[in-house]
Amino acid sequence: MISLTDSQKIGMGLTGFGVFFLFFGMVLFFDKALLAIGNILFVAGLSFVIGLERTFRFFFQKHKVKATSFFLGGVLVVLIGWPIIGVVLEIYGFFLLFRGFFPVAVGFIRRVPVLGSLLSLPGISRLVDKIGESNNMV
């Protein structure tokens, strides 16, 4: 089992609540307040989990400038009060930031018993294969 420090445990909780608020804000027709709370909790939780220095190094690498600007710009646009445009910008930035992680995640999910069989369905398998092999979703 992986041992977590207290700050990492707090970060996991903040990140989990952030994802919950983001999802709930989208379900409730892009509620500005819930999306703003979700964004703040998600970014704060991420910095607690991996640390402030590693968070800054991750977001502000030279080859991730475009992705970071879309993601953080989307957070800013949601905070200003345009939730739909902000969420679209955030999603695009999120995919650009984490595109190197998708093949690893797809490979892991394929080994999970129930989810692996779902990913083998005809329509889904083509999409998952494209995501799993593609390293440049630009």
**Residue 135 DSSP symbol:** S
Q: What is the pLDDT of residue 135?
A: 57
In a domain, 117, yes or no: no
- pLDDT tens for each residue of 53-111: 999 999 999 999 999 999 999 999 999 999 999 999 999 999 999 888 888 888 888 88
Q: How many domains does the chain have?
A: 1
State which H helix or E strand residue 44 sits in: helix 32-50
What domain range is 12 assigned to? 6-99
Q: How far is Cα 109 from Cα 20, in angstroms, rounded to an integer?
A: 21
Residue pLDDT, tens place only, 10-36: 999 999 999 999 999 999 999 999 999
pTM above 0.85, yes or no: no
**Considering the domain boundaries, does residue 116 fall inside one?**
no
Is residue 33, in this structure, part of any structural domain at all? yes
Residue 123 lies in a domain: no
**pLDDT > 90 fraction of the chain, expressed in percent and rounded:** 67
